[in-house]
């Protein structure tokens, strides 16, 4: 079995994927788009991609990609805490330059502004790249923002730990595939849908939400994304909480179809939250 | 009068701003955050920033920035068509590398994947930067994705025109300020709100939409953004269509307040669509 993920090795997506798959089946891809394409072209059996971060919001490449790859389904959601650390070769080093991926830099903004206001911050393609660079340049006063796993992998020291701005920093990842997935699929907790509303129908979103609300079906998320046709045309991603209410959800979906709404069923799945 | 905008000169934001202000009052800023800070610290009277693109969706730095700068109001919306082009020094060049701003790259994704699948795509700070780089490196086989105006400004040739994925590619810009704006403010067409829902109240978004729907108040947009507290906590940006219904809108806002919703009024404004 081959499983693609947003690489490189030791990325947070790698960490999410390695809870379910051995290293021998994991295959890094350099972008979310190439992960989804690999799945569509059957080069891999499953892929793991990030979907949403609690500070940065939805990962649009993933959401929009899934909207346009209609045969891909969600099998599982994995939620990981995202902890960033400042790594160096030697604890006596005073960094003159700090490298990391733009998102890790954004997540550690407060720490950097407070502790290293005059240090050069340089964007590199990944946190792993940053750690590898630091390990390969012991003569430079340089630090990397990356995970503890990256510190272990590259033999670096942790100068400051948990430097991200918010202790609730978490990312949701989805395990995606085109064929049934076997692990622990009895415990369904959520269903995700893409919904496209009929044009020029005022109040239609309200009617869609009514179909769920009067059946006491909770939605944990609703977000609009552009249809990429013209300004003001959107599709919606809706996450429905599943708890002994599957027949009611089915009725709600029948009803919104009668209202002229089209929907794309992304799958029912369980959620795993890691510490 | 000083007006800040997301620069550099000849950016699409510059074009939007220059419909209302002379070059002599326009002041480029290198980021949306620095535009908003300049306005807050009264270094400028107004700023113009991008809010939403029809392909890419909302500009989160603008939306999230406004959510945290509560005294800034919207005075006007300007909608511009966004046309991207592949620029080179010489039409005989076969580009081995293409530079542009991440958003222009994203807008031209289909073109790049189809015509230049194996070419290195490099992100640079702006489309203007890309055009300037190409002009300054005639010995390199390099192209820039940028506007026709940039081609003129830097004496570049247009290798492919209108390469954006969709011919309806448009961007909404907002003119923002802290003091009343005089131009053409009689013709109010829209009102924008940030809405924060009370916690743990199932179906509350449905109730908020009901308050508008049963009064036949149309919403042209609703979008969620993370509150940056924890996963699953959002605020919403809602655009309300204004047409002889201001008393009804006021009643709807009173009612949602009684439901425990808090809202931030971003202003009522007119919309100008440029060809």
* Greater pLDDT, B194 or A149: B194
Regarding beta strands B170-177 and B46-53, do their DSSP bridges make them parallel or antiparallel, or are they unpaired?
Answer: antiparallel
Please give the Cα distance from A62 to B161 (Å, whole number): 28
Alpha helices in chain A (DSSP H): 12-18, 32-40, 60-68, 102-107, 109-115, 127-136, 148-154, 204-213, 246-258
A166 Cβ neighbours under 8 A, 6+ residues apart: A54, A55, A107, B228, B229
A134 Cβ neighbours under 8 A, 6+ residues apart: A87, A88, A89, A99, A140, A142, A143, A144, A154, A156
SS (H, E, C) A174-204: EEEECCCCCCCCCCCCEEEEEEECCCCCCCH
- Residue B56 confidence class, pLDDT cut points 50, 70, 90: confident
Give the mean model confidence (pLDDT) for residues B14-28: 94
A246-256 pLDDT tens trace: 899 999 999 99
The terminus-to-terminus CA distance of chain B in angstroms comes to 27
The pLDDT value given to residue A122: 85
The pLDDT value given to residue A184: 55
**pLDDT exceeding 70 applies to what percent of chain B?**
97
Q: Do A229 and B168 touch (CB under 8 A)?
A: yes
Q: What ranges do the domains of chain B cover?
A: 3-81+169-177, 85-160, 190-269
Confirm or reject contact between B274 and chain A (CB < 8 A). Answer: no
Asked which of A233-237, A248-252, B96-100, B187-191 is least confident by mean pLDDT, the reply is: B187-191
B247: left (phi over 0), alpha (psi -120 to 50) or beta: alpha
Q: Which fold has domain B190-269?
A: Alpha-Beta Plaits (3.30.70)
The pLDDT value given to residue B123: 83
B chain contacts of residue A224, beta-carbon cutoff 8 Å: 57, 221-224
Restricting to A residues 140-159, those with a Cβ less than 8 Å away from any Cβ of B are none
- The strand pairing partners of B240, in sequence order, are B191, B219
List the single residue in A with minimal CA-CA distance to B55.
A228
Q: Which fold has domain B85-160?
A: D-Maltodextrin-Binding Protein; domain 2 (3.40.190)
B150 pLDDT higher than 70: yes
Q: Which CATH code, of 3.40.190.10, 3.40.50.300, 3.30.450.40, 3.40.50.2000, is assigned to A3-81+169-177?
A: 3.40.190.10
- Residue A171 a catalytic site member: yes
CATH topology agreement for domains A85-160 and A190-269: no
Cis amide bond preceding A8, omega within 30: yes
Q: Is the ipTM of this complex over 0.90?
A: no
The pLDDT value given to residue A186: 67
- Residue B31 confidence class, pLDDT cut points 50, 70, 90: confident
Please give the Cα distance from B231 to B107 (Å, whole number): 28
A161-192 pLDDT tens trace: 999 987 788 999 999 999 766 655 568 899 99
Give the mean model confidence (pLDDT) for residues B54-67: 91
The pLDDT value given to residue A185: 56
Please give the Cα distance from A159 to A142 (Å, whole number): 12
B248 pLDDT higher than 60: yes
Nearest-CA distance from A190 to chain B in Å?
13
Please give the Cα distance from A87 to A64 (Å, whole number): 34
List the single residue in B with minimal CA-CA distance to A172.
B231
List the single residue in B with minimal CA-CA distance to A79.
B231
- Nearest CB to B54 within list A202, A223, A226: A226
Can you list the residues of chain A whose pLDDT is less than 70? 180-186
Distance from the Cα of residue A225 to its chain's centroid:
16
Q: Do B216 and A225 touch (CB under 8 A)?
A: no
B202 Cβ neighbours under 8 A, 6+ residues apart: A216, A218
**Mean residue pLDDT across chain B:** 91
B181 pLDDT higher than 80: no
């Amino acid at each position: 079995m081959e499983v693609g993920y947003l690489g490189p090795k030791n990325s947070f997506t790698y960490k999410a994927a390695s809870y379910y798959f051995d290293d021998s089946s994991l295959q890094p891809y350099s972008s979310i788009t190439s992960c989804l394409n690999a799945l569509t072209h059957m080069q891999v059996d499953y892929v793991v991609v990030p979907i949403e971060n609690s500070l940065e919001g939805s990962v649009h490449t993933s959401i929009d990609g899934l909207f346009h790859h209609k045969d891909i389904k969600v099998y599982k959601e994995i939620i990981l805490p995202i902890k960033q650390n400042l790594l160096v070769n030697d604890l006596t080093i005073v960094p003159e330059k700090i490298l990391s991926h733009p998102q890790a830099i954004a997540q550690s903004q407060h720490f950097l502004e407070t502790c290293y206001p005059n240090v050069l911050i340089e964007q590199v393609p990944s946190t792993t790249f940053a750690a590898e660079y630091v390990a390969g340049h012991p003569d430079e006063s340089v630090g990397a923002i990356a995970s503890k796993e990256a510190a272990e992998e590259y033999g670096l020291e942790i100068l400051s730990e948990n430097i991200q701005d918010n202790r609730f920093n978490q990312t949701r990842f989805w395990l995606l595939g085109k064929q049934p997935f076997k692990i622990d699929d009895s415990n369904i907790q959520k269903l995700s849908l893409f919904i496209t509303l009929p044009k020029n129908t005022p109040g239609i979103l309200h009617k869609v939400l009514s179909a769920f609300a009067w059946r006491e079906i909770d939605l944990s998320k609703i977000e609009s994304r552009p249809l990429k046709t013209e300004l003001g045309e959107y599709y919606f991603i809706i996450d429905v909480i599943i708890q002994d209410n599957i027949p009611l959800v089915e009725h709600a979906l029948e009803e919104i179809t009668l209202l002229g709404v089209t929907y794309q069923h992304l799958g029912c799945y369980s959620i795993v939250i890691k510490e």
